Amino acid sequence: MACVNHPLLTIRAALKRRYAHEMAEVLEKWQLTSMEADVLLFLANNPGCDTASDMVTLCQLTKSHVSKAVDHLTEQGYITQQRDQSNRRKVHLLLTDAAKPVVKAGQAAQKRFLDVLTCGLTDKDKETTCRVLEIMIENAVRED
């Protein structure tokens, strides 16, 4: 049996493990699922993208998982849902004050995650890496 030796074939699992490690304390402290934390952080980190549809499209998340997370976060008081005045089918998701400490801790965990990944890289290396990854993501989501 041949070993998987290309970094692109193994990076997903490594990134997922490290991100989970950095987020573990946040999830435990606030009793959140990773999807719920993802929803809160998406809303905080992406002003103007405030619908479940935005999350599904931009992050390639499953509609049912986002919906379940949104319902629970609404029940917990971390987000409110507001119907769009011009399109009653569109619902905007807004973070509440109760979400602020969770978001702050989550963003700190994300920063630690990025710091670990970019340790030893110059600013130019980081810039190049971002550019290359953006192209690779575009290639990956492009429908041929």
Nearest to 105 by CA among 5, 29, 19: 29
**Using CA atoms, how far apart are residues 144 and 141, in angstroms rounded to an integer?**
9
3-state secondary structure of 8: helix
- What lies within 8 Å, CB to CB, of 68 at 6+ separation is 35
How confident is the prediction for the chain on average, in pLDDT?
Answer: 93
Residue 132 reports pLDDT greater than 60: yes
pLDDT in tens, 45-81: 999 899 999 999 888 889 999 999 999 999 999 999 9
Residue 142 reports pLDDT greater than 90: no
What value, to the nearest 5°, has the Cα angle with vertex 136 and ends 131 and 16?
Answer: 100
CATH number of the domain located at residue range(s) 19-141 in this protein: 1.10.10.10
**Using CA atoms, how far apart are residues 23 and 28, in angstroms rounded to an integer?**
9
pLDDT in tens, 101-111: 999 999 999 99
pLDDT-based confidence at 144, cuts 50/70/90? confident
pLDDT-based confidence at 4, cuts 50/70/90? low
